[in-house]
Chains A and B, each alone.
Chain A
Amino acid sequence: MAAVVLVGSLFPAALAEAAGSLEVRAFIQPDYDITETQTLRLVLEIKGGARGSEISILGLALMNNLQIVSGPASHFQSQWSNGRLSSSTQLVYTLLPEASGAAEIPALTVKINDRSFTTAPIRFDVGRSPAGVPPRPGTRRGSAGGSADDADLFIRAHLGQTEAWVGESVSLSVLLYSTERFAGGPSLRSSPSLSSFWVEDIEIDPQDSFNTKIEGRVYRAMPLILKILVPQTSGEIDVEPFVMQIPVRVRSSGDPFERMFSFGRMQPVVRKSQPLTLKVRPLPTAGRMADFSGAVGVYRLKVSLDREDAAVSEAVALTATVEGEGFLRAVAAPILDPPPDIKLFDPKVTTSSRTVRGKLISRKTWEWIMIPLAPGELQLPPLRFQYFDTESESYKLADKELPPLVVRQGDATPDPTLARGDIQLQRRDLAFIKPLRGMLKERVPRAHDRVVFLTAMLLPLAWAPLFVLVGRHRARLQRNLGLARSRKARAGARQRLRRTARRLGQSDSAVFHEEVARALVEYVADRFNRSAAGLTYQLADELLAAKGLEEVLRQRFRTCLEACDFARFVPSSSAPERRGEMLAEAGKLIDEMERSW
């Protein structure tokens, strides 16, 4: 990998001419007593002017047991000496050893204006850092350019206790101790694997810093990490060191002007905590019940019902709270054996925890909803919660009696679904075979393939012209009243004759003959669209003659009318049998005239 640094702009144009000979070298600062938590500087110094704007550095990726923390920072210097202008550029990387042991910076290739220079490789040993132990003041372990003294700034890890039971909560805290304020926020470079523990991170309040005295020096202690460890296995469990990187402000020289006017520069320093060991003891088997909750610590159990009486099917809340010193998040609920006449739903669980003086105080609440199914006084069995008491180092059973619950019948009928639980599909399967319904069918054509369907669809189309004709006909009749009257003439006359015939044996002769005569006259009047009142024998005969009726028919018509008139005025002239003949004759006349029309 090549690092390309733009430094051309740093060279004033006036100096470009002086860029004749070039000299490149690499060195580290400090170059002795380097430890694994100590940063060092890799300096690439280029002496002499350079024409061009790029410097490429190859080989940094091949460094062994070292990582680049920051850089490169570029520093340019020029001066007149003996009438000659000389200049130098320094490219500075901040490096951090990865572990104790041998470290190497390989030969680096520096390319300047198509010219290549190779530096000599640098090898050195990285010593183990006395992690977490404050060295004596003044033991500056070769900080690069004057970083913080190890005695001024270090971190320490603390376990709340060195021995614990499996399942017991142990606090682990990491504190930063410093004699003066550092410049920025520490960051975690590496943390130990805590695979043997259930780990809960506890939030830290920055205001929890405090002053403390260590070996006669006053330090400001700032908590960086606070964890609750719950060991899952027994034995001696090692907690590897935490490695933190802390930015500090350093002054590069003892120049009083710089002290007065400069705030110094930022430089990261690395600090490592000391390794720890926790001895974990297994829980004893003696006294452990089958429904042991898994809780280890010192706890109290509280139970309550939200009411003393309830109606059937009315919800009642039962709350159990376990509180005390220890870790409860993974703890099972207290044992409750519900009687058969209540329906118990799964509890709602809430957990909270806090730390007090390095101890974890937890609270876990289970809230069950109970539905009483039958009236009466319901005495629930006591709730049982077994835990391992770390103070007495034995199992303890916390059991609490519940107050009796009076269940009244109430108005509501029990909801059978609620009482017996929701119906849930256990598995899917085929719908069962179907029974025989009627006879089996052959290949039945679709409805639109059947003749009856086509007929039913086309029939209304065939009827349509018929209805159109009927409608037109009726409209014509409505417009021409004479025509309509003429068309209805025969029907009207026949209807009148039928009514007369029904009274053949009842009415007297005068009425009968008057009706027959009226039928004949109204027929002719309707046919010619005239008023029956003004139709005389003569006029009727003329009209019928004009229409072309035969003389014989006209004569019969007149004879029939005259006979009716005579019989009206001489009732005795018409015997009952004669009336029938008259009626038949009138009917025939109307039919024959209709045909001759």
Chain B
Amino acid sequence: MVRRFAQAGVLPLMLALLCGMSFAARTPEDVFLEGNAHYEEGRYAAAAAAYRSLLRYQIRDPVLEFNLANTEFRLGNLGRAILHYERARRLDPTDREIGANLEFARSFRYDQVEPERQVAIVRWTHALQDRLGPDRQAWALVAVVWLIAALQAWCFSRPRGWTATHGWLLGALLLVLAVSSASWYATLHRLEGRRRAVVLEQVVEVLAGPGTNNPTLFTVHEGLGLWIRGERDEWLQVSVPNGLNGWIAKEAVGEV
């Protein structure tokens, strides 16, 4: 980890050394703890600086994203807070605190988006899928495949071969495999299937085309989540939850 940290930050490290700082001796974990200490003492700007420095070294930890999101929220950067909560949830959808803080932060948005109405069974399924997360579901798939393989090996290798009980058991396992596969794929697609972005500026105009010479279609506000449908140069083609779509400057949003 230290080596990676050092490799990724050779230039800053040298600059730090030149400035007489003892930065090289610190690990990412040290910087993280320093950020936590700043946060606990209410020095949110210093905490945010520490957390952001870790992001520059390709640290992608849900705990880091969560703490940075909290800090951005305390600093009043609603859009950045929601962006980092979204990233944290993407990394670890099983963490309920991330979801709760994300919902809390979203309640401060100017653009009130009606939540998609879902029947109870779909809501429960999503909750269960989020609690398990795609990785656990993937490993569960492996376990089911191994169970099927073990059953086959057992039945093929025994002199009496397959019986009806084994057949039913295999059928049940195959059904579990099919359901688990579908659930895993759906979870993965829901979390990562489409590119998403969050508006970072207070008010942003969404234009009819990729360029400032295009007319404004509508305005969106800080913290609103967008779906990215395409991009061209410094512009992103986005759609908002109510179905409207247009072009927005890349610098005005952060991609999840």
Chain A, range 57-84, C-beta contacts under 8 Å to B: none
- In the bound complex, residues from chain B placing their C-beta under 8 Å from that of A442 are 4, 58-60
Contact with B along A521-536 (1 / 0, CB 8 A): 0000000000000000
Selected from A433, A447, A463, A471, the residue in CB contact (under 8 A) with B66 is: A433
Interchain CA distance A434-B70 in the complex, whole Å: 10
Instruction: Using A456-B146, A460-B149 as known contacts, say yes or no to A440 and B138 having CB atoms under 8 A apart.
Output: no
Closest A residue to B85 using CB positions: A430
Q: Decide: A475 and B159 in contact? CB cutoff 8 A.
A: yes
Q: Count chain A residues whose beta carbon lies closer than 8 angstroms to a beta carbon of B.
A: 34
- In the bound complex, residues from chain A placing their C-beta under 8 Å from that of B97 are 431, 434
Contact with A along B123-138 (1 / 0, CB 8 A): 0000000000011001
Q: How far is the CB of A276 from chain B (nearest CB, A)?
A: 54
Q: Decide: A470 and B157 in contact? CB cutoff 8 A.
A: yes
Interchain CA distance A249-B155 in the complex, whole Å: 104
Selected from B59, B61, B91, B156, the residue in CB contact (under 8 A) with A467 is: B156
Instruction: Using A440-B54, A447-B135 as known contacts, say yes or no to A464 and B39 having CB atoms under 8 A apart.
Output: no
Closest B residue to A474 using CB positions: B159
Q: How far is the CB of B157 from chain A (nearest CB, A)?
A: 5
Q: How far is the CB of B178 from chain A (nearest CB, A)?
A: 15
Chain B, range 132-188, C-beta contacts under 8 Å to A: 134-135, 138-139, 141-142, 145-146, 148-149, 152-153, 155-159, 161, 188
Q: Decide: B104 and A428 in contact? CB cutoff 8 A.
A: yes
Interchain CA distance A467-B153 in the complex, whole Å: 5
Closest B residue to A469 using CB positions: B156
- In the bound complex, residues from chain B placing their C-beta under 8 Å from that of A437 are 63
A436 interface hit (Cβ, 8 Å)? yes
Q: Decide: B60 and A436 in contact? CB cutoff 8 A.
A: no
Selected from B1, B58, B161, the residue in CB contact (under 8 A) with A471 is: B161
B17 interface hit (Cβ, 8 Å)? no
B28 interface hit (Cβ, 8 Å)? yes
Selected from A443, A444, A460, the residue in CB contact (under 8 A) with B145 is: A460
Q: Decide: A431 and B58 in contact? CB cutoff 8 A.
A: no
B227 interface hit (Cβ, 8 Å)? no
Interchain CA distance A474-B157 in the complex, whole Å: 7
- In the bound complex, residues from chain A placing their C-beta under 8 Å from that of B237 are none
Q: Decide: A433 and B39 in contact? CB cutoff 8 A.
A: yes
Q: How far is the CB of A181 from chain B (nearest CB, A)?
A: 63
A457 interface hit (Cβ, 8 Å)? yes
Interchain CA distance A492-B161 in the complex, whole Å: 26
Instruction: Using A460-B148, A471-B161 as known contacts, say yes or no to A453 and B1 having CB atoms under 8 A apart.
Output: no
Interchain CA distance A509-B97 in the complex, whole Å: 82
- In the bound complex, residues from chain A placing their C-beta under 8 Å from that of B100 are 431
Interchain CA distance A428-B54 in the complex, whole Å: 29
- In the bound complex, residues from chain B placing their C-beta under 8 Å from that of A456 are 142, 145-146
Interchain CA distance A470-B155 in the complex, whole Å: 11
Selected from B36, B59, B188, the residue in CB contact (under 8 A) with A435 is: B36
Extra contacts, 15 of them, besides A434-B63, A447-B138, A474-B159 (Cβ < 8 A), are A430-B101, A431-B100, A439-B1, A440-B1, A440-B29, A442-B59, A446-B188, A453-B139, A457-B141, A460-B149, A461-B149, A464-B153, A467-B153, A471-B156, A471-B157
* 6 interchain pairs, CB-CB under 8 A: A430-B105, A436-B32, A441-B61, A444-B91, A446-B134, A446-B188
Closest 3 CB pairs of A and B: A460-B149, A471-B156, A447-B138
- A interface with B by C-beta (< 8 Å): 428-437, 439-444, 446-448, 453, 456-457, 459-461, 463-464, 467-468, 470-471, 474-475, 478
